[in-house]
Amino acid sequence: MAEILVLHHSLGLTKGILDFADQLRGEGHTVHAPDLFDGHVFTSIEEGMTYVNEVGFEEIIERGVRAASELPREIIYAGFSLGVVAAQKLAQTREGARGALLFYACVPTSMFGSSWPAELPVQIHSMDADPFFVDEGDIEAARELVKIANDAELFLYPGNQHLFADSSLPSFDVEATKLLMQRVFEFLRNLDARLFDMTRL
């Protein structure tokens, strides 16, 4: 079973993020879901980003990095939208990462001053008409990551919602989320199988 750090989106640590973490725990994984917003939860991306800008974008990212510093290095990093930045930074630069799950966002690997570890598995999930993902360059960054990594998958779901897998939000898409969770569970099972094979060598 895997140990996973889940970093929330710009609305905060919503019930939907906690539900996602609980589903992973239900599969036997150890999941950490820190609150990077000190208890603040917002109802719109605009409100959430206003808070992020007040606190400082870099400070929010560093809160995610600091949360990881208290955990083992051999973990999986999962980020949702805003949380992708810290999750991708950690996966790319913190030695020992087992994998990465990037939801609704992806940034150029050059942002962190190093290349993506070629053997590090990663999944990227977004809707195919999400304006944040498609119009702001994330889809190009995701496609580039898929090109350079040996084990990378980009999954696009029909629709235009950004936070579509958060069950506590109006943007929640039941069918897309069901498929997303199936793919996430398969990703984690494959990582477990790979680790088991390595221990037998």
Residue 162, exposed/middle/buried by CB under 10 A (0-12, 13-18, 19+)?
buried
pLDDT tens-digit series, residues 146-166: 999 999 999 999 999 999 999
pLDDT surpasses 70 at 200: no
Q: Output the CA angle 48-114-150, nearest 5 degrees.
A: 95
pLDDT surpasses 90 at 198: no
Enter the tokens of residue 159: 């629709």
Q: pTM of the full predicted structure?
A: 0.94
pLDDT-based confidence at 118, cuts 50/70/90? confident
d(CA 71, CA 65): 10
Q: What is the mean pLDDT of the chain?
A: 95
Section 89-114 average pLDDT? 95
d(CA 197, CA 201): 7
- What the chain holds in terms of domains, given with CATH numbers, is 3-199 (3.40.50.1820)
Phi, psi of 32 (to 5 degrees): -115, 130
d(CA 40, CA 26): 26
d(CA 49, CA 10): 6
